[in-house]
Each structure stands twice: as C-alpha cells, then as structure tokens.
Chains A and B, each alone.
Chain A
C-alpha cells in the first residue's frame, strides 16, 4: 500500500495543531519581546481544564473551549501584571529565567494537585475515524485541525480589522512611536500576553483528546513551538504556518519512513532549531530583530 497519501493527510492535520501551538508564543514575542518559556504550561493547564470538565461533569472539550479560552486570557493577563511587567526593561536573561521559573512552578503545582498520572479526555470523536479511499482520518485530529484553523483565522481577523488589533500591530513594530500616538503600550502588552496565553490554553483543550495529559507535557510542546517560530521567524503569522508545516511534514514522514521512525521524529524539532540558527538565524519570513 502506498503510504504517501496517508502521511500527507496526517502531516497536514498535525500542522494545523502545531500552528495553533506556536502562534501564541509568536504573538507574545512579537509584541512584548519576551519569549514565554511558560507557554507549554499554558497548554498543560488547558489540557487539564478540558480533562477535568469532561471527566467530572461530562462537558465536551469543544463546549468548554470558549470558557477555558477566557480563563486562559485572565491567567495570562494576571501573569503579565504580576510578573512580566516587572522585567520589561530587565536583561534578557532575567526575562528568560522568570518565565522559565513560572513554568516550573506551574508544573509542580500541577503535580501536587493532580499527581503525575497520565490521563486523557475521551469524547467519542477522540478515537473514531473514517476512510477516504485508503486514507484513515481520525475524527479527533480533524476536529483539532478545524479548531486551529478557526482560532488562527480569528487571531488574524482581530489583528487586521479591530482597533485594538491595529494598536497591537503598531506596538509590535515601534513601541516608542506608538506611545507618541497616544497608545498605552503597557495595556497592549498585557492584552496580547493574555491573548497569547489564551491561545496556549486553546491548544491544550484540543490536545486533551489527542495526546496523553501529564504535568510534564508542556516542555516538549514548548520546544516544538520554539522550533516552529524560529523556523518561520518570530512574530510572523504566515511564518508560523510555514514553520508548522515544515515540522509536521518532517516528523510525519520520518516516523513513516525511518526505521524506529516515531522515536526519531520527536528529535526533529531540535535538529531544525540547530539547523536554522546556523543557516538563517532570522527565520524563513522573519525580520532581523534588534536587541
């Protein structure tokens, strides 16, 4: 049997999920100029939120999604006001250590609250599937892809057409000039950090019925998200889509065609990070960033 159509379909669906996973990180960096190393923990929190609501109250993850997005936004906004806002003008290493430390703290709170046991939300569509010709499509993956497309489209529309989205783009390009135009830069920072975390939580809700949920699930996802945004150029949405496609295709085809492929696939993100940093440090579509 020819595996290419199957691998192609898997890769495209995975790329949608990866775009959603990375676009929040990219937005946070593009506007606030801080890489949020706790982004993976936002994903983890979203996954637990969806899992508990499903397990305890039988709420379908797709139903809890909007509420959890709002919670994610509030958490992100509070993290910004409580922590990130204090290090905006600090050296990069302080910012990195702060967000990294926040991630560790959230991770360990999750262990205390929910133990390290692996869990998974299991709505019916999580495992059911259908065939198109020879290609097997799992409903859960298709649902995840659809959610990702809707969320990313909503993000683009917000940035493109809303007044706040316009201010956000202005701040991302030139903080000083935006201030002179009367834009409250700190408000835009808090808001976009909130949106960034909300996108992380949304990713978690979606992976709650695709991957195994543990308190440690955030870190590998963060590494992949970083690989994607480095590939595409930090702060560029089209770049993020391209980065996600590259990583998803590389991983999927590696797992199909290499011996012991699914093991190797997990390491591809690292290979891409190293490769892109050597060959084209600004990413495929990225602008050079002044530090």
Chain B
C-alpha cells in the first residue's frame, strides 16, 4: 500500500477543470518531484491533496484511508502536512508560537517542548530565533520556520509547494539541503518545483505535468537524462 495514492483526479475552481485525470503516488520515505511548465496545475495538485481545492472526481488516499473530501484542517491528523509557497508563517507570532500553533490541541507543554528540541536538533539554525517575531526574520529563516512548523506533527508525508520560489541561488541550495534533511528523517516528501533540474536531483522519482495532465513518469535521475523531458521541461544545460 502506498503512503499517498492519487487516482484519476479531476479538479479545479468552478466549472473549468485545471487537473484532468491526474494520478500520482508516493511510497513511504520517498522523495517525489512534480515538475512542468507554469500553469500546468502542479500547485493545484498539491492543494487538492491538502484539501484546499475541491476534487470533482477520482480519489486521494493516505495510507489506504480515503480523504478525497476530508476538510483540510483534519488532514494534519493523518500525519500529512503542507508547506505553502507564500504566507507560510504567521508574521505577528513568535517563531515558538508559530511552532505551537501547528501542534494538536491539548498537547501537554512537556510534549511540545520535547518536540521543539527534536525539531531544533534537525534545524539548529532555529535555536536562537525561537522568541523572535516572525516578521523580523529573513526570507531563509522564514522558510525554515515554515518547514519546522510542518515538522511539529511528526508527519509521514510533507507536501512542499515551490520551496525555492523567490529565494536567491544561495538560499535555493540551502532549501534543497533542508529537503534532504527531512528525507533523512524518514519522511516522504512530495515536492512541486519550477526548478526542475535541482528538484529531480534530490528526488527518487519525478512526474511531469503539462496542461493539467500526466505526461511522463520516471526515476528522477532517468528523467534528467531523458531527451524529451529535458527538451520540453528541464531546459538544456548550456
């Protein structure tokens, strides 16, 4: 049984479907990239899985449980968390509070503190920032905060929507390292990226989406060497 199984979903806003008959899957501990041109429906696919965009047909299963029409706020309970592309931290809250909001209700304080220590062990960059208000963080620190908030629930699967968008080349490198760190914790990652080459390098497998449909599926490294993929979606190395 796959950790995430998306079967033939059609979805969109109003009557116009953005995704048509799209299927993808993620195994435990696997990093999977979804790439494709602008407007291909990559982010919409992620939003469907997170419950933000209604699905008109097809099914989404987490570890076998059908959650196609489950309200979005219930999905973190299935140990699936989502890092949005933008506005992914609460600016008026401190970093510690940002992490606290992500915890289930009625979590004992001791468990929260333990979890913070665990997350900070993975992301030591956060150690000195806990009491800082998020509005004063740099772009890179904000991304780490968002990722750590998504880690608080001990997810099995993390959805990441263009984590490198808007970051400088140096910060993009760091972000990829962060994803590798998450992968090394044994968490499966489903990654949507504009930056196809970089994303495929750290992924086990990749899906190419175009005009809201599946086009190519393959092993990450293979896709990087696949003539058609490179020509259409990755861009030739100059």
Report how many residues on chain A are interfacial, defined by Cβ distance under 8 Å. Answer: 17
Taking CB atoms, residues of chain A closer than 8 Å to B100 are 163, 166
Q: How far is the CB of B110 from chain A (nearest CB, A)?
A: 14
A173 touches B104 (CB 8 A): no
**Given known contacts A166-B97, A166-B100, A166-B101, is B91 in contact with A179 (CB within 8 Å)?**
no
Choose among B73, B87, B106 the residue that contacts A182 (Cβ–Cβ < 8 A). B73
Taking CB atoms, residues of chain A closer than 8 Å to B55 are none
**Is B90 at the interface (CB under 8 A from chain A)?**
yes
A181 touches B87 (CB 8 A): no
CB-defined interface of A157-181 with B at 8 Å, one 1/0 digit per residue? 0000001001101100110111111
**Given known contacts A163-B106, A176-B52, is B101 in contact with A181 (CB within 8 Å)?**
yes
CA distance A206 to B74 in the complex (A): 41
CA distance A173 to B104 in the complex (A): 19
B73 touches A170 (CB 8 A): no
CA distance A24 to B106 in the complex (A): 26
B93 touches A180 (CB 8 A): no
**Given known contacts A170-B90, A170-B93, A173-B92, is B82 in contact with A180 (CB within 8 Å)?**
yes
Taking CB atoms, residues of chain A closer than 8 Å to B101 are 166-167, 170, 178, 181, 183
B88 touches A177 (CB 8 A): yes
Most B CB contacts (10 A, CB to CB) among A163, A170, A179, A180 go to: A180
- Chain A contact residues, majority secondary structure: helix
Q: How far is the CB of B161 from chain A (nearest CB, A)?
A: 11
**Is B4 at the interface (CB under 8 A from chain A)?**
no
A181 touches B76 (CB 8 A): yes
A177 touches B92 (CB 8 A): no
Taking CB atoms, residues of chain A closer than 8 Å to B105 are 163
Taking CB atoms, residues of chain B closer than 8 Å to A185 are 73
Taking CB atoms, residues of chain B closer than 8 Å to A178 are 90, 101
Q: How far is the CB of A11 from chain B (nearest CB, A)?
A: 31
B90 touches A177 (CB 8 A): yes
A182 touches B92 (CB 8 A): no
Q: Which residues of B contact A (CB under 8 A)?
A: 50, 52, 72-77, 81-82, 84, 87-93, 97, 100-102, 104-106, 149, 153
Q: Which residues of A contact B (CB under 8 A)?
A: 163, 166-167, 169-170, 173-174, 176-185
8 A-B pairs (CB sep. < 8 Å): A173-B90, A174-B87, A179-B52, A179-B73, A180-B72, A181-B149, A182-B74, A184-B73
